[in-house]
Amino acid sequence: MRVTDQTTDSAADRPANRPSWTCPHQPPCPGAEAADHDLALIRVAHPEQGWTQLCNGVIHFDDTGELLPDGRALAPRRTLVRLAT
């Protein structure tokens, strides 16, 4: 059992596909599967460790890599830069 946002939550009390909390924001933050999921508000920030957890459960790393709530990892998005010659 863990405590999130002053409410007790047990993994055994919820379906496997439902996150352990719901977004309290209006309008609600985009879900983790949405194309714009990076626009969710920050829930927990640890800049000294290089990561933030968004309201939708996505963990966003400073190198732009991400961990989705279901455990899938998204590779960092890299921009290719062409140098003028």
Give the model confidence (pLDDT) of 15-65 as tens digits: 444 456 678 889 999 999 999 999 999 999 999 999 999 999 999 999 989
Residue 3 parent element (H or E): strand 2-4
Q: Is it the case that residue 82 has pLDDT exceeding 90?
A: no
- pLDDT higher than threshold 90 for residue 69: yes
Split at pLDDT 50, 70, 90, the class of 78 is: confident
Running DSSP on this structure, what letter comes out for residue 29?
P
85 against 22, higher pLDDT = 22
- How many separate domains does the chain show? 1
Domain assignment of residue 31, given as a range: 23-76
Cis peptide before 27 (omega within 30 of 0): yes
- Please indicate, yes or no, if residue 83 is contained in any of the structural domains: no
62 lies in a domain? yes
